[in-house]
Structure 1
Amino acid sequence: MRIIILGAGRVGESVAESLALEQNDITVIDPNADFVHTLEDRLELRGVVGDGVQPSVLRQAGADDADMLIAATASDESNLVACKVAHAVFNIPTTVARIRSADFKEKGPLLDKEGFAVDRVICPEDSVTRYIHQLIEYPEALQVVSFSQGRAYLVAVRVSEHSDLAGSTIGAFAERHPEVEMRIVAVYRLDFELTDAPDTVVRAGDEVFVIVDRDNVRHTLAVIAGQERAVRRVMIAGGGRVGLRLARSLANQYEVKLIERDRQRCEQLAHELHASALVLHGDVSDEELLTDENVGDMDLFLALTNDDEDNILASMLAKRLGARRVLALINRRAYADMMQGSTIDIAVSPAHAVIGELLADVRRGAVAAVHSLRRGTAEALEGVVHGDARTSKLVGKRIDQVKLPRGARMGAIVRGAKAECRVLMPHHDSVIEAGDHVIVFMAHKRMLRDVEKMFQVSATFM
C-alpha cells in the first residue's frame, strides 16, 4: 500500500517503522528536517519536509496515488484538517487521525465524510489505558489480546517456578489438564523461540503464548503462572494524561496512590480525583517516599511519567522494594527491548500500543483482526475463510494439509454464529469449513504476506 504519515515524532516514527518493515510504500511528512532525514537514513521510506496540511506538500508526498493517510502529529487540529484535505482534494480512500480530545473520539457528524472525513481515530493514551486495564483484569499475564468479538483470547504469561508447566513437556502438561481446551503456540526463552512440539520442555522464566476460550482464561493463567492473586492496590508514578486517565478509571474499584513531581499539577489532580485516590507530591524515584508509602505492599506499580529514564529507575526501585508487578511506560524502542526479561515485568510503548489497531486496515484479504506481539516482531492474525473447495486454499482441508510458512502455526478455529460460536483447538485431522475464523500465530512479520494469501479466494469465487 502507498501510505502517507504526517508527523515524525514518537507515534509517527513507530507506525512508519512497523509498516515499512512490511514492504509498504511509506512517505513521512514533518516540518523538522532532522527528524525526516533520520528516518530516511534508518528506514526504507521517503521523507518530505513541510506542513502536511498544505495540499502542495501532500501532492509532493504522492497524495494523488496514496491509499491511506495517517495523521499522527501532536496537534488534533492539524490531524483533523489534514484528513479533510486528503479526502476533499485527493480522494485518499482511508484516513486515520491521532486525536486526544474526547469531543472527537466518537464517530459522528464531525468525523464523517461531510465533516473532517476521518475513517479511524487513534489515541495512544487510550490504547495504553486499555492495555493496563487488561493486565489488571488478568494480573498473571504479560499481554492479553482478543479475537472474534472477545470469544477467543491469546495471552502471554511468564512461567513461574511454582507452575505445573515448569520442568514439564508441552504434551505432558496438556495431558494433565484435559479440563481446559487450550493451545500453546509459542515458547520463548529470553529472545530465543523454542519449538511448540509436544516434547519441548518448558522452564521457569520462559514466556509462553497460549490461545484459549474466553471462559477458560483465568484458569489457564493460574495453572501456567503457578499462582492467582487479584489486584487490589495500585501505585501510579506520574500524573500526566495517561496517569490521570488511569487513576480516574481505577479509583472507585482499587486502592490508588498517585505520585506527581509538579506541585501545581498535584493540586489539579487532587481536585479532579477528589477523595477517590491519594495524590502525593514527590519524586517517583525517591526511595524514602516509596518506602513510606508502602510500595512493597502494592500489587501493581505503574511508572507513567513522560521520561523513559525516570520510569525505568522508578520501576526497578519499586520492584526491589517489594512491589509484586511493575510496568514501565517506555517510548524509545531500544529501551523497551533492553528492559524485556529484566526486573521490570512489563515495558509498554504508547506508540506501539496503537499499531495493532491500524494493522487490520492495511492488510489484504479477509483479515478480521491483527495483533502485534513481542514489541512488533511477532503477530497474530484472524482470517475469515471464504469460498468453497474449488476457490479456497483452506475450505475442506485438514490442518495437516495446510502448508503454512515455517514458524507460523494455527492456534484456534472459531466456528458458528456470534451467539453460538465455539473455539476449537485444531488437531492434525481437523477440517476447515467456509465461514470459519482461523487464528494464526506468526513468529516473524515477514511471514505475513504468505499467510494472508491463504485466505484469498480465486477470481472465480462469487
Structure 2
Amino acid sequence: MRIVVLGAGRVGESVAESLVSENNDITVIDPDPQRLRWLEERLDLRGVAGNGILPEVMERAGMRDADMLVACATRDETNLVACKIAHDRFGVPSTVARLRSSEFAEGDPLLGPEGFAVQHVICPEESIVGYIQKLIDYPEALQVLEFGRGRAHLVAVRVVPGSALADGSIADFRRRFPDAPMRVVAIYRKEAEVGCTADTRIRVGDEVFLLAEKGKLRDVLKAVHGGDQPVRRIMMAGGGNVGSRLAQRLSGQVEIKLIERDARRCEFLATQLPGEVLILQGDGTDEELQADENVARMDLFLALTSDDEDNILSSMLAKRLGARRVVSLINRRAYADLIQGSTIDIAISPAQTVIGELLAHVRRGDVVAVHSLRRGAAEALEGVARGDARTSRLVGRTIEQIETALPRGVQVGAIVRGEEPRMQVLMPTHDLVIETDDHLVLFIPSKRQVREVERMFQVSATFF
C-alpha cells in the first residue's frame, strides 16, 4: 500500500517503522527536515518537509496516489484538516486520525464524509487507559488482549516459583486443571522463543502467551498462579491526560492516590475528578512522599508522567519501598526493552498500544483485529474464514491441515464460532474443521510471516 504519514513524532515514527517492515510504500510529512533525514537514514521511507495541511506539500508527498493517510501530528486540528483535504482534494480512499480529545468518536457525523472525512480514529491516551484497565482486572497478567468481540482473551504471564506451570509440561497442566481450558501459543525464555508442544516443559521466569475464553480466564490465571489477589489500592504519579482519564474511570472501584507536580494542574484535577480521588501535589520520585503515603500498602503503582526517566525512577523506588506491582509508561522503545521484567513489572509503550488499531485497517484479507506483541516483534491476529471449501484455504480444512500450511511457529490459538447469544469459543484440536464465518485467532512470532498468513484469509476470484 502507498501510505502517507503526517507527523514524525514518537507515534508517527512507530507507525512508519511498523508499516515499512511490512513492505508498504511510506512517505512521512513533517516540518522538521533534520528529523526526516534521521528517519530516512534509519528506515526505508521518503520524507517531505513542510506543513502537512498545505495542498502543495501533500502533492509533493504523492497524496494523489496514496491509498491511506495516517494523520498523527501533535495537534488534533492539524489531523482533522489534513484528513479533510486529503479526502476532498486528492480522493484518498482511507483516512486515519490521531485525536486526543474525547469529544470526537468514530462514527460521529462530524467525522463523516460531509464533515472532516475521518474514517478511523486513534486515541493513544484512551488506548493506554483501556490497556491498564485490563491489567487491573487481571492483576497477574503482563498483557491482556481481546478477540472475538471480547469473548476470547490472549494473556501473557510470567511463570513464578510455585506456579502450576513451573517445571511441568503443558500437558501436565491440562490434566491437573481440566476446568481451566486454555491454549498455550508461545513461550519465551530469556528473549528467545521456545518450541511450543504438549510436551514442552515450562521453567520459572518464562513468559507464556495463552488463549482462553473470557468466562474461564480468571480460573486459568488462578490455576497458573495459585491464587487471585485483586487490586484495591492504587498510587499513580502523573495527572496528565492518561492519569486523569484513568482516575476518572476507576473512581469508586478502587482507592486512588494521584501525585501531580504542577500546582495549577492539581487545582484543575480537583475540579474534574470525584472527591474520593486523593490528589497530592509533589514529585513522584520523592522517596519521603511515597513512604509517607504508604506506597508499601499499594497493590499497584503506576508511573504515568510524560518523562521516561521520572517514570523509571519513581517505579523502581515504589518497588523498593514495597509496592506489590509497578507499571511504567515508557515512550522510548530502547528503555522499554531494557526494563521490562526487571524491577519494573510492566513497561507500556504508548506508540505500541495504538499500532494494532492501525494495522487492522492496513491488513489484506478479512482481518478484523490485530495486536502488537513483544514491542512489535510478534503479532496476534484475528481473521474471518470466508467462502467455501473450493474458494477458501481455511473452510473445510482441519486445524492439523491448516497448521501444516501456516509458516513455521504460527499457532492457531482459538476459534470463535457463531453469533450472540450462541457464540462459542473453541480450543483448537487437530481434527476440528473450520466452517464459513469462523473467526480464527493466530499467534505470529515474526512480522515477516504476516503477509503469508494474510493470504490464508483471502478467497479466490471465483468467490462471490
Confirm or deny a common fold (TM above 0.5).
yes
1:436 to 438, 441, 455: 438
Deviations 1:344-375 (A, max 9, x none): 11111112111111111000011121111111
Once the 2 structures are TM-superposed, how far is the Cα of residue 398 of structure 1 from its aligned partner? 1.6
Matched, 1:124 2:124: yes
Q: Distance between the aligned counterparts of 1:264 and 1:443, measured in 2?
A: 46
Paired letter, 1:109: P
- Detail structure 1 runs of 4+ shifted over 6 Å in the superposition: none
Once the 2 structures are TM-superposed, how far is the Cα of residue 129 of structure 1 from its aligned partner? 0.6
Once the 2 structures are TM-superposed, how far is the Cα of residue 295 of structure 1 from its aligned partner? 0.5
Matched, 1:404 2:406: yes
How do residues 207-222 of structure 1 correspond to structure 2 at under 5 angstroms?
Answer: 207-222=207-222
Once the 2 structures are TM-superposed, how far is the Cα of residue 251 of structure 1 from its aligned partner? 2.0
Deviations 1:363-422 (A, max 9, x none): 001112111111111111111111111111112112222211011011111112232111
Paired position in structure 2 for 1:342: 342
Paired position in structure 1 for 2:279: 279
Paired position in structure 1 for 2:104: 104
What do you get for the CA RMSD once the two structures are aligned?
1.1
Paired position in structure 2 for 1:184: 184
SS in 2 for 1:48: strand
Paired position in structure 2 for 1:393: 393
Deviations 1:240-275 (A, max 9, x none): 111111112212211100111112222222232252
Once the 2 structures are TM-superposed, how far is the Cα of residue 103 of structure 1 from its aligned partner? 2.1
Question: Which stretch of the first structure deviates more once superposed, 180-189 or 104-113?
Answer: 104-113
* Kept in 1: contact 2:164–2:224 (CA 8 A): yes
Once the 2 structures are TM-superposed, how far is the Cα of residue 447 of structure 1 from its aligned partner? 0.7
* Kept in 1: contact 2:406–2:453 (CA 8 A): yes
Paired position in structure 2 for 1:60: 60
Matched, 1:454 2:456: yes
Q: Distance between the aligned counterparts of 2:96 and 2:394, measured in 1?
A: 32
* Kept in 1: contact 2:142–2:346 (CA 8 A): yes
Paired letter, 1:428: H
SS in 1 for 2:421: helix
Once the 2 structures are TM-superposed, how far is the Cα of residue 172 of structure 1 from its aligned partner? 1.1
Question: Which stretch of the first structure deviates more once superposed, 136-145 or 270-279?
Answer: 270-279
Q: Distance between the aligned counterparts of 1:103 and 1:278, measured in 2?
A: 26
SS in 1 for 2:375: helix
Paired letter, 2:250: L
SS in 1 for 2:100: coil
Q: Distance between the aligned counterparts of 1:102 and 1:273, measured in 2?
A: 16
Question: Which stretch of the first structure deviates more once superposed, 205-214 or 81-90?
Answer: 205-214
Once the 2 structures are TM-superposed, how far is the Cα of residue 149 of structure 1 from its aligned partner? 0.7
Q: Distance between the aligned counterparts of 2:227 and 2:347, measured in 1?
A: 22
Paired position in structure 2 for 1:325: 325
Q: Distance between the aligned counterparts of 1:255 and 1:103, measured in 2?
A: 28
* Kept in 2: contact 1:400–1:429 (CA 8 A): yes
Structure 2, unpaired ranges of 5+: none
Q: Distance between the aligned counterparts of 2:270 and 2:226, measured in 1?
A: 38
Paired letter, 2:184: I
* Kept in 2: contact 1:160–1:226 (CA 8 A): no
Once the 2 structures are TM-superposed, how far is the Cα of residue 429 of structure 1 from its aligned partner? 1.5
Paired position in structure 1 for 2:202: 202
Paired letter, 1:27: T
SS in 1 for 2:201: coil
Q: Distance between the aligned counterparts of 2:301 and 2:93, measured in 1?
A: 42
Paired letter, 2:306: N
Q: 1:390 to 1:106 in 2, by over 3 A?
A: closer
Q: Distance between the aligned counterparts of 1:253 and 1:75, measured in 2?
A: 33
Q: Distance between the aligned counterparts of 1:279 and 1:417, measured in 2?
A: 45
Q: Distance between the aligned counterparts of 1:415 and 1:62, measured in 2?
A: 42
Deviations 1:428-447 (A, max 9, x none): 12211222111111111111
Deviations 1:301-356 (A, max 9, x none): 00001100000011111111111111100001111111112111111111211111
Once the 2 structures are TM-superposed, how far is the Cα of residue 127 of structure 1 from its aligned partner? 0.6
* Kept in 1: contact 2:251–2:274 (CA 8 A): no
Q: Distance between the aligned counterparts of 1:333 and 1:177, measured in 2?
A: 37
Paired letter, 2:140: E
Paired letter, 1:434: T
Q: How many residues align?
A: 462
Paired position in structure 2 for 1:265: 265
Once the 2 structures are TM-superposed, how far is the Cα of residue 180 of structure 1 from its aligned partner? 2.1
Q: 1:106 to 1:92 in 2, by over 3 A?
A: closer
